[in-house]
């Protein structure tokens, strides 16, 4: 039996909330079932369809692993005190997933423009038995990676919903391009712990507020 694995992320770009990485392991002989279910890149599916597929995929997989990366960890990785960046932070979490699932082969959606460098980084801390296929658009081109993208996106959406319910607020999608999110940050930048303070969107609000304070003197 050959176990294959797909790894993908959700929430790399937003200014609010965690980054989620997911790994899904499956008997290669069962991969065709994913196609029959209608599995594809999560970005091409509605939220309702992703939830439905999540429930179907979870019955089928041999194992899965989900890693939720907090805003604090993201900000630290991007700080001057860290030797990481967002790509290498993802690579670290990717290795954690691989070492949990220990598949025979893994298809990984690559966030870096330098696939060779990213692959070599992963090889240092991944299981020796695992053959790595690190590619751009793996979530679109490989069903097992599409399944992982669904797991990551569904989990990220659930985490965002938890934040909204916990604080009884609506900050929109959490993406900087969302006007509702932009206005929420401007009005609440110092009130909540879920902002990615290393993001330019957040930094610009802080600079703007500081400049306004200076004009009062």
**What is the pLDDT, as a whole number, of residue 82?**
84
Structure token digits, residue 158: 């659930």
pTM of the complete model beyond 0.85: yes
The pLDDT mean for the chain works out to: 94
Q: How many Å apart are CA 32 and CA 81, to the nearest integer?
A: 46
Residues in the chain: 217
Residue 127: its pLDDT value, please? 95
pLDDT digits (tens, 9 = 90+) for 197-208: 999 999 999 888
- List Cα–Cα distances, 122 to 61, 116, 117, in angstroms: 23, 10, 9
Looking at residue 212, what is its pLDDT?
A: 65
Query: What is the domain partition of the chain in residue ranges?
Result: 3-165, 171-212
Does residue 147 sit in helix, strand or coil?
A: helix
Kindly state the average pLDDT of the residues 136-151. 97
Query: Of 38, 30, 31, which is closest to residue 54 (Cα–Cα)?
Result: 38
Q: 106, exposed or middle or buried, with CB in 10 Å at 0-12, 13-18, 19+?
A: buried
Output the CA–CA distances (angstroms, integers) from residue 53 to 4, 45, 166, in the order listed.
19, 10, 26
Tell me if the domain spanning 171-212 has CATH number 2.60.40: no
Burial 46-77 (b: 16+ CB within 10 A, else e): eeeebebbbebbeebbeebbbbbbebebbbeb
CATH code assigned to 3-165: 3.30.420.10
């Amino acid at each position: 039996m050959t176990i294959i694995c797909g790894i993908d992320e959700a929430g790399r770009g937003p200014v609010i909330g965690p980054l989620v990485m997911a790994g899904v392991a499956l008997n290669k002989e069962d991969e065709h079932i994913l196609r029959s279910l209608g599995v594809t890149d999560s970005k091409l599916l509605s939220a309702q369809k992703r939830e439905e597929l999540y429930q179907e995929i979870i019955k089928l997989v041999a194992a899965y692993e989900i890693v939720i990366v907090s805003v604090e960890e993201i900000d630290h990785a991007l700080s001057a005190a860290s030797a990481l960046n967002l790509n290498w932070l993802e690579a670290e979490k990717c290795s954690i997933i691989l070492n949990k699932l220990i598949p025979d082969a893994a298809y990984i959606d690559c966030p870096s423009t330098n696939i060779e460098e990213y692959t070599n980084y992963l090889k240092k801390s991944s299981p020796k038995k695992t053959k790595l296929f690190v590619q751009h658009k793996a979530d679109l081109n490989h069903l097992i990676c599409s399944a992982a993208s669904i797991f990551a996106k569904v989990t990220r959406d659930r985490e965002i919903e938890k934040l909204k319910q916990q604080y009884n607020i609506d900050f929109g999608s959490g993406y900087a391009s969302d006007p509702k999110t932009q206005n929420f940050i401007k009005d609440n930048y110092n009130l909540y712990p879920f902002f990615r303070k290393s993001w330019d969107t957040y930094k610009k609000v802080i600079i703007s507020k500081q400049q306004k304070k200076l004009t009062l003197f």
